[in-house]
Chains A and B, each alone.
Chain A
């Protein structure tokens, strides 16, 4: 089972290695991890995509919460959320394939952000299915290089990641 987890962490050196170390030390899986400063410069937001059954996910959430530098942990399992990822693709751009590439970029609402005599570099954002679809369509034209950011996520509507309390007992699992 795949899960998207969002964290607020102290924006200090060493925090990322604590989180990465937690995952590797306990044998948890990281599919992707995105981190950058949040609106509050003392806090970073981190989005982690991980896999595991419910028991493993429960441990992941609890263990993350236990880290001193972690301010808040949100599992999007039962929350309506939006998630987007960006991919940069460098494709072969020959005379005869260029119109086809341009068409596809337009359909997927992407952008060509760099051009050379033999290649285009395309930027596409979207959810995982959209990126997958784009990649599979463009593949036959010859992908030279591909870089993905991994998804970032946010709850829909009024719900927000606020720094209030670190709820070690969060999720009802612990304190009913």
Chain B
């Protein structure tokens, strides 16, 4: 059947089952924009800045597990997506970003609104395509979705020139993508898994260290069952939060620079680290030479490049974490007699960890000021943990990670790898589009929120009732914290003037609320959570609060600064 490239695009999205795109129009998108007129199967959310389109698609993907889709115009529209794409790339989030391009004849001519976006994004995409002929369009779209979602997921960029979207071609959507050079390994090597299980059996101080891979492969139930079966304590990376319920007795909290005492000490004294879907990032390991000095390491990851990249691994297992966990659980099941007693053989270890947890819990000094940590604790209590939380980057992100006990996977949406300020609000919009009835809360700071504050218009236009809690301390708090601790309190550049966030929200047609003292926290939060409208809550918190524990940059995990 003959169709234009733009129609092929729309039909391909439908065939792929795409229900939502986040987009922004321009000259080069017009053919496609027009072809999407009255296409009600595809919810089209027009943002106010292309960076936000990608973050929204990313939030949609993280919350739902489906591939997020963004569509933007050529030139500046495309370059504005770079931060969003790099954010998704670092956190392995499946996205397909469609950028439109000038006519093929003009490519390379420095044409109006031309940018070599395939070239610009090459280092931060899993793969990218420039569609040069309409006959390739459907195949490329099929491949793009396949690559984005399979293996270690990631963003794929498809650049569509305007004459390709207007050209006429045959349309047949391929049933499957066949890429001879791309066949991810899903099933773990049985021999390696058996070796790993033997090593576990002989360990006395094991720790499960799990990351975003557990969330991405939907393995949290298997992880929890595995940990419970052997009574092995679990620590999560920032990306792994929600992989095991945050209130689970075996959960140690997050590890790393702002990890808990128990998690960092457990890693340091462990004799066996079982890493799953985590990549030994510098924020998690601290000084690598002194990371887990007594431990052997089992590493399960779908991406071979993650294995032995930063830390030498003893038993590598390439595969999907969920598959591998299932294989490991099967062994535990089959050899019940062997494993039933295991928890007894590590009782000294679990006791020791229990003592660390009891003696050094996450805490903060209460006084008559309004503490940001208290606000997060109240958000957790009032929502009973039933909320999708997004964060910006900085102190707000770390307090959210520490004090909101993520009970379920896909409820902690945060830019872990790239650390992108301005991520949380558009990501919350994307998550709210995916789950219109859920409570979606962005934990923000007064600095970060101003990096994508224009998306208030999007939230109001589509009536997306996201709640943005601005922990307003008048500083770029995390940088200020480093200045306080390591630069003798010279707060150069970090004092921040901000607008009246309540009035800003109101000017956009959203609700603006303010909290200035602890006594108002519950009342105002409750009001915000049930008003059904996009809401900014400007919380004036204690200005010079620091995030603790803290492992100074370059130090080993056991060298924590405590409250």
List residues of A whose CB falls within 8 A of some B CB: 9-10, 14, 17-18, 21, 25, 55, 58-59, 62-63, 65-66, 68-72, 163, 165-166, 168-169, 173-176
Contacts A59-B305, A173-B304: A69 and B181 contacting too (C-beta < 8 A)?
yes
Residues of B within 8 A of A65 (CB): 304
Are B119 and A17 closer than 8 Å at their CB atoms?
Answer: yes
Are A175 and B305 closer than 8 Å at their CB atoms?
Answer: no
Contact of B305 (CB < 8 Å), options: A10, A62, A165: A62
B74-112: CB near A (< 8 Å → 1, else 0) gives: 000000000000000000000000000000000000000
Q: Whose C-beta in chain A lies nearest to the C-beta of B191?
A: A176
Q: Does B509 contact A (CB under 8 A)?
A: no
B173 to chain A, nearest CB (A): 20
A59 to B303, CA, bound (A): 12
A66 to B307, CA, bound (A): 13
Are A169 and B127 closer than 8 Å at their CB atoms?
Answer: no
Residues of A within 8 A of B318 (CB): 168-169, 174-175
Q: Does B317 contact A (CB under 8 A)?
A: yes
Q: Does B26 contact A (CB under 8 A)?
A: no
Are B184 and A168 closer than 8 Å at their CB atoms?
Answer: yes
Are A71 and B181 closer than 8 Å at their CB atoms?
Answer: yes
A169 to B187, CA, bound (A): 11
Q: Could you tell me which residues of chain B, from 167 to 211, have a CB within 8 Å of some CB in chain A?
A: 179-185, 188-189, 191-192, 195
A150 to chain B, nearest CB (A): 23
Are A169 and B185 closer than 8 Å at their CB atoms?
Answer: yes
Residues of A within 8 A of B304 (CB): 62, 65-66, 168-169, 173-174
- Having A14-B130, A62-B307, A71-B181, one finds 19 other A-B pairs with CB under 8 Å, namely A10-B181, A62-B305, A65-B304, A66-B303, A66-B305, A68-B182, A70-B181, A71-B180, A163-B180, A168-B151, A168-B184, A168-B185, A169-B318, A173-B304, A173-B307, A173-B308, A174-B316, A176-B189, A176-B316
A169 to B192, CA, bound (A): 12
Are B179 and A58 closer than 8 Å at their CB atoms?
Answer: no
Residues of A within 8 A of B182 (CB): 68, 166
Q: Whose C-beta in chain A lies nearest to the C-beta of B127?
A: A68
A25 to B312, CA, bound (A): 22
Q: Does B142 contact A (CB under 8 A)?
A: no
Are A58 and B317 closer than 8 Å at their CB atoms?
Answer: no
Q: Whose C-beta in chain A lies nearest to the C-beta of B194?
A: A176
Are A166 and B181 closer than 8 Å at their CB atoms?
Answer: yes
For B122, B147, B191, B305, the residue with the greatest tally of chain A CB atoms inside 10 Å of its CB is: B305
A52 to B147, CA, bound (A): 30
Q: Whose C-beta in chain B lies nearest to the C-beta of A62?
A: B305
Q: Does B118 contact A (CB under 8 A)?
A: yes
Q: Does B126 contact A (CB under 8 A)?
A: yes
A25 to B303, CA, bound (A): 18
Residues of B within 8 A of A71 (CB): 180-181
Contacts A62-B305, A173-B304, A176-B316: A21 and B122 contacting too (C-beta < 8 A)?
yes
Residues of B within 8 A of A63 (CB): 305
A65 to B304, CA, bound (A): 9
Are B308 and A18 closer than 8 Å at their CB atoms?
Answer: no
Q: Could you tell me which residues of chain B, from 314 to 335, have a CB within 8 Å of some CB in chain A?
A: 315-318
Contact of B195 (CB < 8 Å), options: A62, A166, A169, A176: A176
Are A169 and B189 closer than 8 Å at their CB atoms?
Answer: yes
Are B309 and A59 closer than 8 Å at their CB atoms?
Answer: yes
Q: Whose C-beta in chain A lies nearest to the C-beta of B196?
A: A176
A55 to B184, CA, bound (A): 22
Are B316 and A68 closer than 8 Å at their CB atoms?
Answer: no
Q: Does B123 contact A (CB under 8 A)?
A: yes
A59 to B185, CA, bound (A): 17
Residues of A within 8 A of B123 (CB): 21, 25
Residues of A within 8 A of B130 (CB): 14
B331 to chain A, nearest CB (A): 16
Q: Whose C-beta in chain B lies nearest to the C-beta of A58?
A: B308
Residues of B within 8 A of A165 (CB): 183
Residues of A within 8 A of B184 (CB): 168
| Pairs A–B under 8 Å by Cβ, sample size 29 | A9-B181, A10-B181, A14-B118, A17-B119, A18-B122, A21-B123, A55-B312, A59-B305, A59-B309, A62-B304, A65-B304, A66-B303, A66-B304, A68-B147, A68-B181, A166-B180, A166-B182, A166-B183, A168-B184, A168-B185, A168-B304, A169-B189, A169-B318, A174-B307, A175-B316, A176-B191, A176-B192, A176-B315, A176-B316
A173 to B318, CA, bound (A): 10
A18 to B118, CA, bound (A): 10
For A55, A72, A175, the residue with the greatest tally of chain B CB atoms inside 10 Å of its CB is: A175
Are A68 and B118 closer than 8 Å at their CB atoms?
Answer: no
B417 to chain A, nearest CB (A): 15
Q: Whose C-beta in chain A lies nearest to the C-beta of B143?
A: A68
Contact of B122 (CB < 8 Å), options: A17, A55, A58: A17
Residues of B within 8 A of A169 (CB): 185, 189, 304, 318
Residues of A within 8 A of B195 (CB): 176
A168 to B195, CA, bound (A): 21
A110 to B308, CA, bound (A): 46
A9 to B189, CA, bound (A): 27
A71 to B308, CA, bound (A): 23
Residues of A within 8 A of B147 (CB): 68
Residues of B within 8 A of A9 (CB): 181
Contact of A175 (CB < 8 Å), options: B126, B183, B308, B317: B317
A72 to B182, CA, bound (A): 10
Q: Whose C-beta in chain A lies nearest to the C-beta of B307?
A: A174
A142 to B118, CA, bound (A): 46
A25 to B151, CA, bound (A): 22
The 5 closest A-B pairs by CB, nearest first: A175-B189, A71-B181, A176-B192, A62-B305, A174-B318
